[in-house]
Structure 1
Amino acid sequence: MSYGFYIYGILTLPAPQNLNLQGIDQQPVQIKILDGFAVIYSEAQQERYLASRRNLLSHEKVLEDIMEAGHRNLLPMQFGLLISSWETVSEQLIRPHQEELTQLLAKLSGCREVSVKVFWDTEAEIQGLLAEHPNLKTQRDKLVGQPLSMEQAIQIGQAIEQGMNDRKQGIIDVFQGTLNSIAVDMVENTPQMETMIYNAAYLIPWEAESQFSEHVEALDHQFEERLRIRYNNFTAPFNFARLRLLISN
């Protein structure tokens, strides 16, 4: 039984030749030339694909392998996109969005996405805040072990919260001031946990990665043991593929 085609992404022409890649369900990755674009796909073996770690990694690896092979004008599609026929792709994806696709692919051409996630130790930062503001520490220490009025609790809590927000923003300003100028574009995403204070994706020219990496390393040295930085130096540009599509299978 045929379940149609699983779509990974779209390339500008000329298309890759002699692909030797396996995609989801270990299916061979193929190219379909359609309306002046190259669609990356494999034969779908299921009616719907669960967003399991294995499937997600397979989806991303196909795109990364194609980009690493030199085809860097790639627009990645969201995981799980299945289509029943090429007419569907042409009528609902390419023709209605041809100009937008062309502009977006031009922006992404020759670029890679990298990500920077920054973590801190919340308790250590609070202690650092109190050490830098002795009056605030004295005020808090006087109230330790004593019943607090609602007004006192709110006042101390707000002062500490504002201080922590200022410390956090100060760090973010340093990172953005150091890294943003290298990037073509950047997206600041929502932190994924309480200890994560910065979560950003950067679209950078392919050849600028070594420079970007050096800047990240310099930031790591600048903040020494205070911060933990997680740097991913390459992925397909998912955060910058902002074409929103509704495709009926």
Structure 2
Amino acid sequence: MIYLYGLANASCASLADCLNEIDGLQGPLQQTRIGPWTLVHSEHDQEEIMPRRRLLLAHTKVLEAMLTTGTVLPARFGLVAHEMSQIERLIHSVYDKINAEFEKVSGAVELGVRVSFPRQAALAATLDAHSLLRQEREALQRKGTKAHFEIAAFGGKLAEEMDRRRGAAQTTLLNAIRPLVRDHVLRKPEDDTEVLRAEFLVDAEAQRSFEEAIANAAAALDFAAGEGPKINIIGPVPLCNFVNLNLSFDLDQEAA
């Protein structure tokens, strides 16, 4: 059987060069030309492929190396086929869809962005920006721990205001970088001081400008006055969030 990694708009020779020192999940990596594209694959022993961290990282490592040669449509982890003729038939049967996917992401990279602020500074800035909450906290401090029900209610109000400010900060960031972005996918923040967690599709030539725009816009936020943002940019990574096809063909059904 055959294990699939992805389809690239690069030659077999250029892919072989960039993958020369990388191992496949179960054997050497191979390249096969199908139409105008090159499929990267390796042999598979028919054993079930479990989503273990080591194997997921190995799959991703191959895709990341392929990205150095150009645009890549990634295969989902664990995708296998019975034989190469089966893969060729499937790819030719959805040729127009594959071509459209390549055109959509051609010349672009996927970048993950995480922007957060220190919690204490964010809380202080929230209270400074909301006089009623600040006054309520001062009154509760005078009452002491006996006002535990009131303290709990105040905590809920503060959390709501933090979330409102976080959403406003996210909108400000997105508006600042929108001209440099083809598309984006928002993620749920891990906490109320993470103002942005998202994946972006960006022109490769604009990557540096995009990163500078993120840094400048985040630094200008008043979300945590006196404290700068923590910015984590991940990538370029395989285009899993912006490729709809992902080579997720029903191989068993096609072979029946």
Inter-CA distance 212–123: structure 2 relative to 1 (3 Å threshold): same
Q: Which residue of 2 aligns with 1:140?
A: 137
- The residue type equivalent to 1:138 in the other structure is Q
CA distance in 2, matches of 1:215, 1:233: 16
**CA deviation map 1:84-115 (0-9, x unaligned):** 22344345x42453322211111111111111
* Mapped contact 2:115–2:197 kept (Cα < 8 A): yes
The TM-score with structure 1 as length reference comes to: 0.81
Q: Which residue of 2 aligns with 1:62?
A: 62
> Which among 114, 119, 142 is matched to residue 117 of structure 1?
114
Residue 217 (1) aligns with residue 220 (2): no
Inter-CA distance 36–178: structure 2 relative to 1 (3 Å threshold): same
* Mapped contact 1:180–1:186 kept (Cα < 8 A): no
CA distance in 2, matches of 1:57, 1:67: 15
CA distance in 2, matches of 1:85, 1:114: 34
Q: Which residue of 2 aligns with 1:231?
A: 233
> Which among 93, 98, 103 is matched to residue 101 of structure 1?
98
CA distance in 2, matches of 1:46, 1:227: 48
Q: Which residue of 2 aligns with 1:240?
A: 242
Q: CA deviation at 1:149?
A: 5.5
CA distance in 1, matches of 2:92, 2:120: 54
Q: Percent identity?
A: 24
- The residue type equivalent to 2:4 in the other structure is I
CA distance in 2, matches of 1:90, 1:190: 39
Q: Which residue of 2 aligns with 1:173?
A: 171
Number of matched residues?
240
**CA deviation map 1:164-220 (0-9, x unaligned):** 122101221222122221111111123345653321111111111121122233245
Q: Which runs of 5+ in 1 are unaligned?
A: none
* Mapped contact 1:24–1:59 kept (Cα < 8 A): yes
CA distance in 2, matches of 1:102, 1:153: 56
Cα RMSD (Å): 2.8
Range with greater deviation from structure 2 (239-248 or 162-171): 239-248
Q: CA deviation at 1:8?
A: 0.9
CA distance in 1, matches of 2:177, 2:51: 32
Inter-CA distance 193–23: structure 2 relative to 1 (3 Å threshold): farther
Range with greater deviation from structure 2 (138-147 or 172-181): 138-147
Aligned pairs for 1:25-36 (under 5 A) are: 25=25, 27-34=27-34
CA distance in 2, matches of 1:195, 1:44: 45
CA distance in 2, matches of 1:192, 1:178: 22
After TM superposition, where is structure 1 displaced by more than 6 Å over at least 4 residues in a row? Answer: none
CA distance in 1, matches of 2:148, 2:218: 40
The TM-score with structure 2 as length reference comes to: 0.80
* Matched position secondary structure for 1:240: coil
CA distance in 2, matches of 1:43, 1:197: 44
Q: CA deviation at 1:38?
A: 2.4
- The residue type equivalent to 1:241 in the other structure is V
CA distance in 2, matches of 1:200, 1:172: 10
